[in-house]
Amino acid sequence: MLGEIMNIISTWAIPFLLLTIPVYGFIKKVPVYETFVEGAEEGFITAVKIIPFLVGMMVAISVFRASGAMEGLSNILNPVTAKLGAPSEILPLAIMRPLSGSGVLGMATELMRIYGPDSFIGRLASVMQGTTDTTFFVLTVYFGSVGIKKYKYSIITGLSADISGFIAALYICNLLYR
């Protein structure tokens, strides 16, 4: 039931916006097509502008992950997080969470394939995937697109949100599914 409603909302959201905004604009006498193209041009420029920032970030993350350094870090952290009720299989996912969205999705999918979506690990991986955003992607891309070089305290804020999201996900899953 709840699933169906959510499905309907997520399938209808985009067609709904694509219908109502241009129609409303037309009623308000906005030259809809010309305005659309004008805005679309900005979109193109912005997307190209973020390429260097994304290249820099993705190269570093990819080297970190492929070399086994991430695994090493997760082995170091494991004794601490095990006390919080985190299975060691889930740690790489937690480390990846702020770094790469597609990386996390791939890892969560892999965990669900191995352990099943209704296992403790599968459920925890699902909750972690659905919690918080990819901090480094957002920061590099958003700041990069407007030429900001000094991020001030926003890295600390973003990473604290990731860590607290991870701890909350652990706590809730241990409470509900163990």
Partner 1 sequence: MLNVIWLLLLVSGIITAAYHGNIAVVTEAALGAAKGAVEVCFDLVGVMALWLGIMKIAEKAGLVESLAKIMKPLTVKLFPSVPPEHPAMGAIILNLSANMLGLGNAATPFGMKAMQELQKLNNNSKEASEAMCTFLALNTSCITLIPATIIGVRLSFGSANPVEIVGPCILATAFSMFVAVSLDYWFRKRRKQGRIR
Q: CB of 143: closest distance to partner 1 in angstroms?
A: 6
Q: CB of 90: closest distance to partner 1 in angstroms?
A: 14
- Picking from 88, 85, 97, the residue whose alpha carbon sits closest to that of residue 130 is 97
d(CA 129, CA 94): 9
Query: Which of the ranges 9-17, 74-82, 85-93 carries the binding residues for partner 1, by CB under 8 A?
Result: 9-17
Interface residues for partner 1 in 29-88 (CB under 8 A)?
A: 30, 32, 35-44, 46-48, 50-51, 54-69, 72-73
Q: CB of 10: closest distance to partner 1 in angstroms?
A: 5
Q: CB of 88: closest distance to partner 1 in angstroms?
A: 18
DSSP state of 39: H
Query: Which of the ranges 19-27, 74-82, 86-94 carries the binding residues for partner 1, by CB under 8 A?
Result: 19-27
Q: Which amino acid is at 172?
A: I
DSSP state of 88: G
By three-state DSSP, how is residue 56 classified? helix
Binding residues for partner 1, rule CB under 8 A, total: 100
Q: Which of 86, 90, 107, 173 binds partner 1 (CB under 8 A)?
A: 173
Q: CB of 80: closest distance to partner 1 in angstroms?
A: 19
- Picking from 91, 100, 2, the residue whose alpha carbon sits closest to that of residue 59 is 100
Burial of 96 (0-12, 13-18, 19+ CB in 10 A): buried
Interface residues for partner 1 in 100-159 (CB under 8 A)?
A: 101, 105, 108-109, 112-113, 116-118, 122-123, 126-127, 129-135, 138-143, 145-158
d(CA 39, CA 120): 46
Q: Which of 15, 28, 89, 120 binds partner 1 (CB under 8 A)?
A: 28
Q: How many CB atoms lie within 10 A of CB 29?
A: 7
DSSP state of 89: G
CB nearer to partner 1: pick between 30 and 77: 30
